[in-house]
Structure 1
Amino acid sequence: MTVEQSYAAGDPLVSGHWRPNPDGTGGQDAAAGQAAVVSGRDERGAAVVLFGTEPLFRNHPKGLFPQVARALYWSAAVTGSPVTTR
């Protein structure tokens, strides 16, 4: 897999709600420096793009529609398959 995007090394979130687990683990500090988007091929050779965020949340993300489109077109280019939507 290739890391396409990762969270900032310091305090990764400027705004938003990312609450830690009741035991204090898993908060936004745990994401610092970690991958947010990765791409590659699965064990069958299929092209895969995984988002660690919800790029289509509320259907109005600023700047994330192009990221989803790039993921679709990259997957098609790697496999030689046409891009289709359902």
Structure 2
Amino acid sequence: MSFTIISPTPGLTTKERILELILTHPEGITAKKLSDRLNRPISMINYCLKDLKEKKIIQGKLNSEDKQWIYYPVAFIN
């Protein structure tokens, strides 16, 4: 069995693309919407969101209506 080593494609990383989308949605965006827009699994989105939250670049707020976390840039949290 042979293995093929793949190399990364040039451009933004998934984490950078997530941050870009969050910054362009000051009203907030859910992980599911990020997953749909970026065509990435929700587990990868959650992994990147966790890192961005730890660095205090974004924050999440639980929406009481539909019980989903909504992510915002830190400056937009009320």
Is the shorter-chain TM-score for this pair beyond 0.5, marking a shared fold?
no
- The structure that is strand-richer by fraction is 1
> TM-score normalised to the size of structure 2?
0.33
TM-score (normalised: structure 1): 0.31
Larger radius of gyration: 1
Q: Higher RCO, 1 or 2 (CA under 8 Å, sep at least 6)?
A: 2
- The structure in which a higher percent of residues are helix is 2
